[in-house]
């Protein structure tokens, strides 16, 4: 379940800023048809911060039903409110999600003891595999390798999406415990896999699912040269999708491809034209 290319799905909206389930379904089908190994609804890329809890539940349920067992669904259920995270994680279990993705509490910035208390409470309250999500650039705090190792002692905390931008941190985590590590930075996926990560929860897979999946599979099957070639083919995209705040560039790219409307919820706004002018040749080079 926790290997290969797992896409961090965007949440498409219509002109009324409502969730566009028709477009969402097409995105899910496209991902599965092109070899993506798993789906993550309601993560940072899915603009979970501006979804109501009812909308978040709708997206999770819809993704589970649309996937219909074809690939695992890892539902984004994290919060900086432990009670809310428990409720969303229980819901994900109830509707058949395969796992839950839980971000480090943001804004209130708990210390290691608070992180351990938070994740332990969620894991103990909902019998579903938990994937920790460490992204200091979003949350304002880093989850230390020692904290991860302590949490890995809990049976249903089984993986971590590691987006601190540090190969050294990944190495420390893997040296301290046997938790599965997934890259949270597309451009670091291959380097992280070289030190023991099993794949990626990917933004770029929204745009180039087949190539991202093939890069991961190639490495896992021992074709390091093939994986390296794909890494360099995709490197421009990996960087281009972060010219502005994610998911502004990836939504612009998917709209350019005719897959969704380029609509975000405030405070995010569509990518600036002069910034998209930097992304457009990258997409053209990839043939998308």
- The string of pLDDT tens digits covering residues 125-140 is 999 999 999 999 999 9
Residue 196 · residue 181 · CB < 8 Å? yes
The answer to the question of residue 233 being in a domain is: no
Which residue do the tokens 């993560």 mark? 43
- The string of pLDDT tens digits covering residues 61-107 is 999 999 999 999 999 999 999 999 999 999 999 999 999 999 999 99
Which residues are marked as active site? 133, 161
pLDDT of residue 96: 98
Number of domains forming the structure of the chain:
1
Residue 58 · residue 19 · CB < 8 Å? yes
Q: How confident is the model at residue 282 (pLDDT cuts 50, 70, 90)?
A: very high
- CA 182 – CA 193 distance, rounded (Å): 8
pLDDT of residue 68: 98
The answer to the question of residue 26 being in a domain is: yes
pLDDT of residue 121: 98
The answer to the question of residue 260 being in a domain is: no
- CA 99 – CA 156 distance, rounded (Å): 9
pLDDT beyond 90 at 10: yes
pLDDT of residue 20: 98
The answer to the question of residue 278 being in a domain is: no
The answer to the question of residue 119 being in a domain is: yes
Q: Which are the contacts of 14, defined by CB distance < 8 A and separation ≥ 6? A: 20, 261, 263
The answer to the question of residue 159 being in a domain is: yes
Residue 22: give the domain boundaries: 4-221
- φ/ψ of 126, rounded to 5, equals -135, 115
The answer to the question of residue 255 being in a domain is: no
Q: In this structure, what CATH number is given to the domain that contains residue 53?
A: 3.20.20.70
- φ/ψ of 42, rounded to 5, equals 65, 35
- The string of pLDDT tens digits covering residues 220-259 is 999 999 999 999 999 999 999 999 999 999 999 999 999 9
- The string of pLDDT tens digits covering residues 154-206 is 999 999 999 999 999 999 999 999 999 999 999 999 999 999 999 999 999 99
pLDDT beyond 80 at 1: no
pLDDT of residue 246: 98
Q: How far is CA 249 from CA 15, 44, 51, 116, 243, in A?
A: 18, 13, 19, 34, 7
Residue 5 · residue 36 · CB < 8 Å? yes
pLDDT of residue 117: 98
| Half-sphere exposure for 238 (CA within 13 Å, toward CB) | 20
Torsion sign (Cα): 138, 5, 124, 146 = negative
User: Pairing between strand 4-8 and 180-183?
Assistant: unpaired
- CA 242 – CA 288 distance, rounded (Å): 18
The answer to the question of residue 195 being in a domain is: yes
- Furthest C-alpha separation in the chain: 49
Question: Could you tell me the pTM of the whole model?
Answer: 0.96
pLDDT of residue 272: 96
């Amino acid at each position: 379940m926790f290997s290969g290319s797992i896409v961090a799905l965007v949440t498409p909206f219509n002109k009324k800023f409502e969730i566009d389930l028709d477009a969402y379904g097409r995105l899910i089908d496209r991902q599965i048809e092109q070899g993506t190994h798993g789906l993550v609804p309601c993560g940072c890329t899915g603009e979970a911060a501006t979804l109501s809890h009812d909308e978040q539940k709708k997206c999770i349920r819809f993704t589970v039903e649309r996937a219909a067992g074809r690939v695992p669904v890892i539902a984004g259920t994290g919060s900086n409110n432990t009670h809310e995270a428990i409720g969303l994680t229980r819901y994900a279990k109830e509707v058949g999600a395969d796992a839950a993705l839980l971000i480090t509490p943001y804004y209130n910035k708990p210390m290691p003891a608070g992180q351990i208390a938070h994740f332990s409470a969620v894991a103990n309250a909902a019998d579903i595999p938990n994937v920790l999500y460490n992204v200091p650039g979003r949350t304002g705090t880093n989850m230390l390798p020692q904290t991860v190792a302590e949490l890995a002692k809990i049976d249903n905390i089984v993986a971590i999406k590691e987006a601190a931008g540090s190969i050294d941190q990944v190495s420390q985590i893997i040296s301290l415990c046997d938790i599965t590590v997934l890259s949270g930075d597309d451009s670091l996926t291959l380097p992280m896999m070289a030190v023991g990560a099993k794949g990626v929860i990917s933004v770029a897979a929204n745009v180039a699912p087949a190539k991202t999946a093939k890069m991961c599979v190639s490495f896992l099957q021992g074709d390091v040269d093939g994986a390296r070639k794909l890494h360099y083919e995709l490197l421009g995209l990996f960087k281009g999708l972060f010219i502005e705040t994610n998911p502004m560039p990836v939504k612009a790219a998917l709209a350019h491809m005719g897959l969704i409307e380029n609509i975000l919820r405030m405070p995010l706004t569509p990518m600036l034209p002069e910034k998209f002018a930097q992304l457009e040749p990258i997409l053209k080079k990839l043939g998308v």
